[in-house]
Amino acid sequence: MRYPFNPGDRTITAVGEKLTDLPAGPIDHHWTKSLTLSPDGTKLNVGVGSNSNIVERGLEAERGRAATYEVDPKSGAMREFASGLRNPNGLTFEPTT
């Protein structure tokens, strides 16, 4: 979701705007979605955990899961940034490399 920001505001009163759909499902194990800014501050990076522990619901239930995504907050465009990450939480970027 995107909300207008005005420096000094202490509450959100505007209606939010949906940026993009993230992978999810009716059974949503590892449901947390960690969020961090890219090092240059232009993109949001979002972690999406796997839907299971050992693919017990089949590969289709895992489509788009166990990955991080880079989201453009202006357009909502999204691309996979990293994959094979069972439950990516606490995302951050190492600041020097």
pLDDT tens track for 9-65: 999 999 999 999 988 876 777 777 889 999 999 999 999 988 888 888 888 888 899
3 is a domain residue: no
Number of structural domains the chain divides into? 1
CA dihedral 64→70→75→77, nearest 10 degrees, is -30
> Above 80 in pLDDT, residue 81?
yes
Domain with 54, as residue range(s), is 26-97
In the prediction, which pLDDT does 18 show? 93
87 is a domain residue: yes
> Above 90 in pLDDT, residue 70?
yes
Q: Which residues are CB-contacts of 49 (< 8 A; sequence separation ≥ 6)?
A: 29, 30, 31, 32, 65, 66, 85, 86, 87, 88, 89
Backbone angles phi, psi at 52, to 5 degrees: -155, -175
44 is a domain residue: yes
Q: Which residues are CB-contacts of 84 (< 8 A; sequence separation ≥ 6)?
A: 66, 67
Residues in the chain: 97
In the prediction, which pLDDT does 63 show? 87
